[in-house]
């Protein structure tokens, strides 16, 4: 064994890396210009569109998040990612709009609509900044999986490592005891200290050989090499190969896990019935209204997503873009269900014994698979993660080169811009390492992205469909929202007056409730039932959570009487809502998250529409007509015919008035075409089918 891995596993991973780099070298020979590097000369048909979208969407980050949240919250945790299911039919329209705009980067839309270099450059810079968090998320996910596969034997622990592991085990034992009997005063105090230490990441359920920095550097270097060489086409061809590995690693754990727990019937015997509730119970972070909020966030954010826009822009026609977007997305939803099963299996196998839920996938792989299969799983996992990082790095490097670098350095050669794109990819990929070292939680990084969705989504939605949206209103909205949603919450973390102010350290009330449920194997062992499946009454304790801060912790975790302070992001949105009369003291984590995400989503729209109504429009009618003519004109696969059609639409823009949903108004929405109605309807049929599959899997108790 080499650092916990069998030589056969290492050999499988080396072969995978060799194939990946080989593809990059071969594709690099066909790259002639920047359009070929960034959007593959718009020559991707339905097949390549499917594989690129599936490989980009079905990433290892999502797999880890699904398994992590199902392990934490039961099947309702799936909704953090599965929220996308109900928004997928709308992608039928989003892909068409992306392709019809005929841009290279999503920033081009802002430039053409608002004629503002400030908005375009600011959006590009902000997208790149936020995308670094996405790359950082990928590094964290990959590291935590490798970490779980390279477990150090207990005999090699240092004194500090041993104390950390034993303290975690004691905390879980006390929490389990609290669920079926009363703790003594000494045990209650001991549990409080251990929980404070766990909040501050001082406890571990195991120790790994692998350290983060060396891993991040090697991992980033491999992605960098094949992406630098071949651009988007290399990412796509690798996605075809990697998509097959993704399917393998998504399925391989399930049969072994089911054998371990005794099939689906054994799964239900070991996992509490409440954790099979699709929308969670009271105290769950995934209530129906929080799931709906997440779905709206996804729908609003997808239109301004640089990777999705790049994929659709690379299609030959708008139908190719729609086909790739829809089929890739729906296959991903099915794969998510297999990940959810893995999360339930983890619950059955480990209970609450794993300190870091982000490592669950690696722990299961380590415990269930033999030599060679671990390597196959690892290769599939890395394939899923790397394919996403590769296509993302191309998308965001194109933003940097075309919308920030090129305006300052115009009239350079195509080879020069390709070189700058490659340099941008290097900077982008290795900047993610800084994020990975700063944020240790997968969920924390994801929620940062959720918080910022509305800032630039509102300008593009209103810009595409409302002629009255003005440049000055958008500039004002960006400045106000960046301060309110980005600067203030994170700057507050460094101001002691805020992080220690008693009024801002308020927490929700502790909730104790009993529920009528079915006994699990653990309940039988605890003496609460005679056999699994027997109806029993159990006590559940929902601990308080911070209202204004991500965490409220003791300054000294070992002293239950020490003062408290706020840690993590300051929820300024919740503070504003409480000033307006809302009360979250009796609420739950789901209530707080729903309120702040809805604020971030709705406030930018209200701001732009209000300011636009009071500001005189600066945009010229002919510029707006040219912009909306492009959005309203179908794409022709023949570039010459397409150019002629655009020219005719611009010259006679009035012909679209009869086709508008709201004619003679400021709203630029066309009536849906027959193909749109059929495609949209079929998508909802598929949504229903996939939801039934999920429901069937949750209810299945045989064999």
Q: pLDDT tens digits for 268-316? A: 989 888 889 888 665 667 788 888 888 888 889 888 876 677 667 777 8
Q: Are residues 310 and 220 in the same domain?
A: yes
Residue 240's pLDDT is 60
Domain assignment of residue 22, yes or no: yes
Helix (H, G, I), strand (E, B) or coil at 173: helix
Secondary structure in 3-state letters for 192-217: HHHHHHHHCCCCCCCCECCCHHHHHH
End-to-end Cα separation, the chain, in angstroms:
36
Q: Please determine, for residue 575, whether its predicted confidence score (pLDDT) is greater than 90.
A: yes
Q: What's the structural domain count of the chain?
A: 2
Q: Are residues 217 and 252 in the same domain?
A: yes
Looking at per-residue confidence, does 385 or 152 come out higher? 152
Phi-psi region of 634 (alpha: psi -120 to 50; beta: other; left: phi over 0): beta
Determine whether 414 is exposed, middle or buried from the number of CB atoms within 10 Å of its CB (0-12, 13-18, 19+).
Answer: middle
Residue 38's pLDDT is 45
Domain at 135, CATH number: 1.20.1730.10
Domain assignment of residue 655, yes or no: no
Phi, psi at 511, each rounded to 5° = -115, 125
Q: Look at residues 308, 276, 343, 692 and name the one whose alpha carbon lies nearest to residue 517.
A: 276
Q: pLDDT by residue (tens digit) across 411-468?
A: 888 788 878 888 888 888 888 888 888 876 766 777 777 777 889 899 999 999 999 9
B/e letters for 83-118, b = 16+ CB within 10 Å, e = fewer, are: bbbbbbbbbbbbbbbbbbbbbbbbbbbbbbbbbbee
Q: Please determine, for residue 679, whether its predicted confidence score (pLDDT) is greater than 90.
A: yes
Domain assignment of residue 428, yes or no: yes
3-state helix, strand, coil in the chain (%, to 5): 70, 5, 20
Phi-psi region of 609 (alpha: psi -120 to 50; beta: other; left: phi over 0): alpha
Q: Please determine, for residue 57, whether its predicted confidence score (pLDDT) is greater than 60.
A: no
Q: Please determine, for residue 31, whether its predicted confidence score (pLDDT) is greater than 90.
A: no
Residue 496's pLDDT is 92
Residue 238's pLDDT is 55
Q: Are residues 256 and 301 in the same domain?
A: yes
Q: Are residues 198 and 347 in the same domain?
A: no
- What is the rounded average pLDDT for all residues in the chain? 83
Domain assignment of residue 285, yes or no: yes
Cross-strand partners of 670: 660
Q: Are residues 76 and 119 in the same domain?
A: yes
Q: Are strands 535-542 and 511-518 parallel, antiparallel or unpaired?
A: antiparallel
Domain assignment of residue 500, yes or no: no
Q: pLDDT by residue (tens digit) across 364-383?
A: 988 888 888 788 777 767 76
Q: Please determine, for residue 476, whether its predicted confidence score (pLDDT) is greater than 70.
A: yes
Q: Are residues 116 and 232 in the same domain?
A: yes
Q: Are residues 313 and 438 in the same domain?
A: yes
Q: pLDDT by residue (tens digit) across 352-365?
A: 788 788 888 888 98
Provide the pLDDT confidence category of residue 37 given band limits of 50, 70 and 90: very low
Q: Please determine, for residue 344, whether its predicted confidence score (pLDDT) is greater than 80.
A: yes
Residue 33's pLDDT is 47
B/e letters for 633-670, b = 16+ CB within 10 Å, e = fewer, are: bebbeeeeebeebbeebbeebeebeeeeeeeeeeebee
Residue 65: domain span: 7-30+45-151+208-451+672-699
Q: Please determine, for residue 36, whether its predicted confidence score (pLDDT) is greater than 70.
A: no
Q: Are 48 and 130 in contact (CB under 8 A)?
A: no
Residue 528's pLDDT is 76
Q: Are residues 157 and 74 in the same domain?
A: no
Q: Please determine, for residue 179, whether its predicted confidence score (pLDDT) is greater than 80.
A: no
Residue 231's pLDDT is 53
Residue 695's pLDDT is 94
Q: Are residues 371 and 306 in the same domain?
A: yes
Q: Please determine, for residue 43, whether its predicted confidence score (pLDDT) is greater than 80.
A: no
Q: Are residues 309 and 414 in the same domain?
A: yes
Domain termination residue (choose one: 164, 184, 207): 207
Q: Copy the structure tokens of residue 624.
A: 């707006």
Domain termination residue (choose one: 185, 207, 229): 207
Its pTM stands at 0.77
Phi, psi at 619, each rounded to 5° = -70, 140
Residue 257's pLDDT is 93
What average pLDDT score do residues 58-77 get?
A: 83
Residue 39's pLDDT is 47
B/e letters for 550-581, b = 16+ CB within 10 Å, e = fewer, are: bebbbeebeeeeeebbbbbbbbbbbbebbeee
Is the Cα torsion angle 680, 685, 688, 690 positive or negative in sign? negative
């Amino acid at each position: 064994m080499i650092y916990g891995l069998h030589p056969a596993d290492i050999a499988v991973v080396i072969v995978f890396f060799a194939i990946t780099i080989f593809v990059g070298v071969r594709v690099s020979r066909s790259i002639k210009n920047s359009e070929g590097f960034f959007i593959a000369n718009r020559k991707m048909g339905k097949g390549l569109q499917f594989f690129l979208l599936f490989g980009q969407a079905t990433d290892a980050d999502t797999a880890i998040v699904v398994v992590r949240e199902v392990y934490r919250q039961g099947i309702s945790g799936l909704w953090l990612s599965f929220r996308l299911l109900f928004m997928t039919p709308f992608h039928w329209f989003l892909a068409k709009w992306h392709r019809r705009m005929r841009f290279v980067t999503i920033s081009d839309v802002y430039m053409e609509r608002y004629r503002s270099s400030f908005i375009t450059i600011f959006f590009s810079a902000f997208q790149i900044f936020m995308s670094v968090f996405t790359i950082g998320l990928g590094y964290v996910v990959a590291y935590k999986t490798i970490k779980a596969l390279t477990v150090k034997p207990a005999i090699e622990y240092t004194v500090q490592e041993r104390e950390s592991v034993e303290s975690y085990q004691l905390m879980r034992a006390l929490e389990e005891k609290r669920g079926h009997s009363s703790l003594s005063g000494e045990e209650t105090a001991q549990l409080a200290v251990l929980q404070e230490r766990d909040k501050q990441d001082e406890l571990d359920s195991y120790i790994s050989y692998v350290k983060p920095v060396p891993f991040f550097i090697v991992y980033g270097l491999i992605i960098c090499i094949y992406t630098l060489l071949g651009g988007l086409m290399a990412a796509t061809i690798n996605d075809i190969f990697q998509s097959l590995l993704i399917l393998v690693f998504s399925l391989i754990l399930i049969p072994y896990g089911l054998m371990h727990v005794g099939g689906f019937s054994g799964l239900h015997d070991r996992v509490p019935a409440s954790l099979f509730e699709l929308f969670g119970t009271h105290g769950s972070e995934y209530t129906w209204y929080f799931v709906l909020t997440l779905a709206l966030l996804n729908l609003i954010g997808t239109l301004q997503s640089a990777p999705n826009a790049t994929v659709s822009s690379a299609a030959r026609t708008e139908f190719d873009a729609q086909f790739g977007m829809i089929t890739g997305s729906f296959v991903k939803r099915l794969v998510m269900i297999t990940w959810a099963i893995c999360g339930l299996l983890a619950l059955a196998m480990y209970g609450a014994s794993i300190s870091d839920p982000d490592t669950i996938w690696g722990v299961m792989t380590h415990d269930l698979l033999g030599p060679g299969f671990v390597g196959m799983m690892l290769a599939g996992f890395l394939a899923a993660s790397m394919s996403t990082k590769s296509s993302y790095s191309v998308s965001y490097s194109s933003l940097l080169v075309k919308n920030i670098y090129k305006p300052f350095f115009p009239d350079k050669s195509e080879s020069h811009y390709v070189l700058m794109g490659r340099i941008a990819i290097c900077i982008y990929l290795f900047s993610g390492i800084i994020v990975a070292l700063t944020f240790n939680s997968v969920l924390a990084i994801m929620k940062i992205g959720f918080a910022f969705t509305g800032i630039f989504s509102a300008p593009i939605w209103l810009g595409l469909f409302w002629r009255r949206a003005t440049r000055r209103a958008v500039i004002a909205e960006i400045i106000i929202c960046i301060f309110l949603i980005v600067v203030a919450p994170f700057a507050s973390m460094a101001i002691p007056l805020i992080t220690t102010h008693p009024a801002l350290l308020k927490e929700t009330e502790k909730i104790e409730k009993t529920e009528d449920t079915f006994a699990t194997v653990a309940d039988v062992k605890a003496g609460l039932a005679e056999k699994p499946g027997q109806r029993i009454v159990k006590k559940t304790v929902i601990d308080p959570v911070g209202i204004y801060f991500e965490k409220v912790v003791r300054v000294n975790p070992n002293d239950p009487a020490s003062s408290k302070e706020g840690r993590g992001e300051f929820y300024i949105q919740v503070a504003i809502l409480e000033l307006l009369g809302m009360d979250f003291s009796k609420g739950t984590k789901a209530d707080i998250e729903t309120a702040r995400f809805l604020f971030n989503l709705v406030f930018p729209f209200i701001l732009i529409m209000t300011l636009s109504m009071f500001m005189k429009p600066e945009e010229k009618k002919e510029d707006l007509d040219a912009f909306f003519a492009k959005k309203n004109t179908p794409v022709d696969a023949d570039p010459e015919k397409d150019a002629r059609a655009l020219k005719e639409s611009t010259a006679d823009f009035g012909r679209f008035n009869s086709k508008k949903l709201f004619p003679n108004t400021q709203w630029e929405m066309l009536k849906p075409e027959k193909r749109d109605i059929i495609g949209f309807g079929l998508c909802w049929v598929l949504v229903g089918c996939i939801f039934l599959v999920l429901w069937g899997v949750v209810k299945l108790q045989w064999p």
